[in-house]
Structures are given as structure tokens and as C-alpha cells.
Amino acid sequence: MRLTIEENGYGKQAALLRRCVAQRIGQTDSGAQMRLSLRVDGQLGAAESYAVTCADGAWTITGADPLGLCYGIGKFLHTAQWNDRDFTPHPPAGIITPAHSFRAVYASIHFHNWYHQASAEELQAYLEELLLWGYNTVVTIIPVVCLHSFEEPMFYELIDKSRSLCRLAREFGMQVGLIVNPNQGLLSAPESIGADLSLFEHRGGSSGMNICPHKEGAMEYLTSLWIAQLEQFKDIGLDYVISWPYDEGGCGCEQCRPWGSNGFCDLSTAFFKEVERLYPAAKKILSAWYFDHPVNEGEYEGLWRRLQGDMAYVDYLMVDGHGAFPTYPLTHERLKPMLNFPEISMWGLAPWGGRGANPLPRRFQRLWDSSKDALSGGMPYSEGIYEDISKVQLVAYYWEPDRSYRDALAEYINYEYSGDVIDEVLEIMELIEVNHVGVYEKRQPDMAACIRAEELARSVDRRLGERARGAWRWRLLYIRAVMDRVVYQYHTDHDNGRSVRGMEQEKTVKHYGQNVVLRGDEVTLYTLRKTKEWYLEESEEAMAMAEELCALYHTDRENTHMATYPPVQGREAALAGKVFGTT
């Protein structure tokens, strides 16, 4: 196809469009001609709106602003019918306007996950793809939780990646945000100002070095860290700054309890004063992540009082949790616009991306439907590329709150795989979810579901074009379907796991911060969530796929905190406990 683009001054958007087309059909300077014009018209509609029209065989993509133009390009590409030579556009009619203005992707750059390990070129390409799917904000973090100082090489490595993502976002007109855990100290912080961690006896993890703000010298120490983090973005600017409570963060001393409505609020107020000094126009977002869980400590009730009093300055409240959407914010007066924070990375499986893609379409549909009337947008938590499917599903809701996951993911499958396999791939995703959720809830694997998913995956793989078959998005989903069948078959064949590797018959584990005693089959079902190498080692194909995942994720074999990577090292390393999930 010969693509002729009238850029009208929007060369960056035109170059992005050309790259996307060339990746699918090769050269764009021969064959049938398609004429296309890119325009921005401030009178088109609300911010970030777009329209795609055709007259006399020529297409025009118009944005209300440069971001709207990008979203129009994305929809033009994603809804087209593609083959290996050309494509036929099928964009929606009329002016399309997003329902919510806050549509952020949080790239958690830490602990050698994909964002940490990926090259600058990969990060740029992925951000551009997420932009075309409809995100308008990039939020990052400086991983104080894993740093000893702001002078060590890892700090410079990670801050360079965060800043490069933010600079690229700015080039396309996206907004930029930063998360700070206001009582998170460096690993080298003096123990004399350490937090009281007793509150974590009934909560999730306590990461890094938390600081008690009431101890002598603590506020001076924390303030210096806040300023050091905030100043890293002075030349780029920050549109949003988010104060975060758990599980990096928290203190259980008498003066701080309950943390969410007491110590955290006090500290956030002091922190946001520094934010206002350095970034007076930045919106302030207060996170209520994990409040009143697993027991009601009065955090939401106390926070609601604070929001009507000394914390009226807060612009947004971010609310969510690992399980169901919290009830209190849905049943009480909405004092601030609320955003969600979907846990798309770490729910129900470890290592997180260790078997490939982790689609949970029906789970996220249920969570969204339970809370969408109270929400004004959101920000999925992302550790890498293995939850790409969920990112696209969720941003579709931020544009159209009443959209179904099947409709949103049909568009994704059409563009990333093929329009000929939509129903089959949707079924693969749903079947994967059956066992992902079932095993998490301590039910025996549904072997019919995983066998069917593998059969469908192999059938689709044979029929996909060369580009789609070799692309990482399909490889992650295909590997997940095959690996699940191998893992669950191993479990089933070994007497439902009871005799697997001499597994103990009773085990005490921490579940959402509470000690839970597992017995009999529950032990092996819990272990099944944490994929061991020996589930895979009887299958040469599965072990090769684990190696492929390591390559896709850029596994650092020398690093011992690789929570997103599959267990693939030899038995000696596994027995020595050197790889997450193998012991």
C-alpha cells in the first residue's frame, strides 16, 4: 500500500502512524494508494476528542488537540481490517470524546521487573502503543524502597528511565505524575527513626525502610527525601503528585494509628506543602490503597472527616484494593473525584508474569461495574508487558464506562493478532481466567478448561500470519495457555498433588496480612499458585518457553529479586533458594 499523509505540521504523529503501518504490511511506498490528512481543530469538541472521516476516497483524522489526534490515529488503526498487503479502515462515526480525563498508566520501575530491565527504545515503543490505546498520563516512581542512597548507580539508571518516559510523554502532549510514599526511607536510614511495624501483623507486606514521623530527626530526614525526589523532574514538570500509604509506607505507633486517617494524613499534608512550593499547578492525589483491610480500623471514616476539614486541598482520591472494590467510598458522600487503581499485576499467581500473559477479563469487568458510577478515571498498577491485555481493557472503560470487555478486547485481538480469530482468542482468555481464579480460591484445576485453552491456542497459532505469530503479545498468551496445561496436568497426575515432591500436609501462610493454616489439598493448591520449576521440568517445551519468557522480560540471572520471572534455573539453584518461586 502506498500511504500518502498530509501532515499539516504534525510530523511526530505522522511518523508514529507510518511506523505502525510499516510494522504490519512492510513498505508503504508501493501498491494501492491511500490518502490521509492529519488535522487539529480546537472547535471539534471537548479536550482529547477526535473524529475520523472519509470523503472522495481520502481519509481525515481530526483531533481537538494533538492528543486527540493520537487517539484518532489509534482508533483508525485498531479498527481496520488488515492483511499482509494493505488494510481497510472501519472507524466509528461521529466525534468521540473520552468520559474521563484521568487515564494514567503507572510504570512501576523497580526490582528488576520489565520496566527496569527494558531498553530505552523498548520503553518508548511501548509508551507509544499505550498512547494509541487511549492513555493520556504516565505516572512513575523513584524506587526509594530498593535504594541505599541517591548516589548509587542503580538510582541514576532508574531515574534516567523514569525521566526518559516522562520526556517522551511530554513530546506527545501527555501529562506526567509521580508517586511518593511519604514515610518511606532509604535502606540506609537510621534504625533510630524506624517505624513501628506492628500494624503489618494483620496487613500485607512492609517493604523497605519505613520511618516514624514522630521520632526525633525523622521529619527533617523525610523532608530532604521528598525534595530530592521532586526536584528530579523540575525541568520536565509534574501535573500530578500522589501520596501513597501502603505497603511501602505505614507506622503503627500510638501517635500514628490508625495510619490511613492519622499519621499518613498528617504526613501527606506536610508533603503536599513541598509539592505546592515546587509545582504550584500540580494536582494532589491522596491514595487510600488498602485502607481498613482486613479489619475496619476507621481509616475511611477518619479520612472522610479530614477531607471535610484540614485536607480539603486534595484534588483526587485514589481508592482500591486487592479484592473487591472498597464499600465505604461507594456508600458515603463523594467528597472528591475518585480514581481506581486496579491490581493487574500481582493477583493470584507468582511469579507474577512467570507463565506469560495474565488476562482476567471477567474479574475486571465485575470490579469496574461495581464502582464505575463513582469513578472519574483510574490508573492500573503495572510491572511489565505481561498484563498488556488488562491495560487495554481498563483504558477502554475510562473512555466508555458502559463498554463490555468482549467489545474492547475484540478490538485488541483484531489489531494485535487477527480479525479472523477474535472469538477463539476471547475464549482462550476466559479459559485461562477460569483456573487463575479457581486455583487462587483453592479449587482443584479445571482440566477440561486448560486442555481446551491449549488446543485453541495451538489452532490459532497455526493460522496466524508470521508477524502476529512471532510478536511478543501473542507469544505471551500462547505460552500461558501451554504452560497452564503442563502445570495443572503435573499437579493432577501426581495424585492431585498430595505426593508432589514430598509436600507437607499442613502449612501456615500469610494471606492479606493474616495467618491462615492450610491442610491437605489446600497446601498443594496454594503451592500451585507459586509455580515451581518442577511443575515444568518434565516438559522440554515448557522449559524452553520459560527460557523464552526470561528473554522477553530481560531476566537478570544474577539478581535474586525477580518476582516477575519464571523459575528456569537448574535444580541445584532451585534447592539453594536462589530463584523466586522455586523453593
| Positions of CATH 3.20.20.80 in the chain | 102-353+364-403
Among 77, 91, 175, smallest CA distance to 377 is for: 175
Q: Which residue has the cell 493520537?
A: 70
Hey, what's the cell of 37? 490528512
- Going by C-beta distance under 8 Å and a sequence separation of 6 or more, which residues neighbour residue 343? 320, 321, 322, 381
Hey, what's the cell of 279? 509545582
| CA–CA dist 77, 81 (Å, integer) | 9
Q: Which residue has the cell 516522562?
A: 166
Entry pTM: 0.95
pLDDT of 516 reads 78
**End-to-end alpha-carbon separation of the chain, Å?**
54
- Are 179 and 226 in contact by the 8 Å Cβ rule? The answer is no
In degrees, to the nearest 5, what angle opens at C-alpha 489 toward C-alphas 483 and 490? Answer: 95
Among 177, 213, 131, 134, smallest CA distance to 315 is for: 177
- Are 516 and 564 in contact by the 8 Å Cβ rule? The answer is no
Among 543, 504, 545, smallest CA distance to 527 is for: 504
Hey, what's the cell of 280? 504550584
pLDDT of 508 reads 78
pLDDT of 493 reads 86
- Going by C-beta distance under 8 Å and a sequence separation of 6 or more, which residues neighbour residue 130? 105, 391, 395
| Positions of CATH 3.30.379.10 in the chain | 2-88
| CA–CA dist 378, 341 (Å, integer) | 6
CATH number of 2-88: 3.30.379.10
Among 567, 111, 541, smallest CA distance to 350 is for: 567
| CA–CA dist 355, 565 (Å, integer) | 8
- Are 219 and 261 in contact by the 8 Å Cβ rule? The answer is no
pLDDT of 203 reads 77
DSSP H or E stretch at residue 481: helix 472-493
Hey, what's the cell of 267? 504526613
Among 42, 43, 62, smallest CA distance to 52 is for: 62
Q: pLDDT tens track of the chain, all 583 residues?
A: 889 999 999 999 999 999 999 999 986 667 788 999 999 999 999 999 999 999 999 999 999 999 999 999 999 999 999 998 899 999 999 999 999 999 999 999 988 899 999 998 999 999 999 999 999 999 999 999 999 999 999 999 999 999 999 999 999 999 999 999 999 999 999 999 999 998 887 777 788 999 999 999 999 999 999 999 999 999 999 999 999 999 889 999 999 999 999 999 999 999 999 999 999 999 999 999 999 988 899 999 999 999 999 999 999 999 999 889 999 999 999 999 999 999 999 999 988 899 999 999 999 999 999 999 999 999 999 999 999 999 999 999 999 999 999 999 999 999 999 999 999 999 999 999 999 999 999 899 999 999 999 999 999 999 999 999 999 999 999 999 999 999 999 988 886 555 566 566 787 776 666 677 877 778 788 888 888 888 888 899 999 999 999 999 998 766 655 577 787 754 344 334 433 333 2
Hey, what's the cell of 68? 486527540
Pick the CATH number of 102-353+364-403 from 3.40.50.970, 3.30.360.10, 3.90.1150.10, 3.20.20.80: 3.20.20.80
pLDDT of 376 reads 98
Q: What are the two backbone dihedrals, phi and then psi, of residue 343, each rounded to the nearest 5 degrees? A: -85, 90
Q: Assess whether the previous peptide bond of 493 is cis (omega < 30° from 0).
A: no
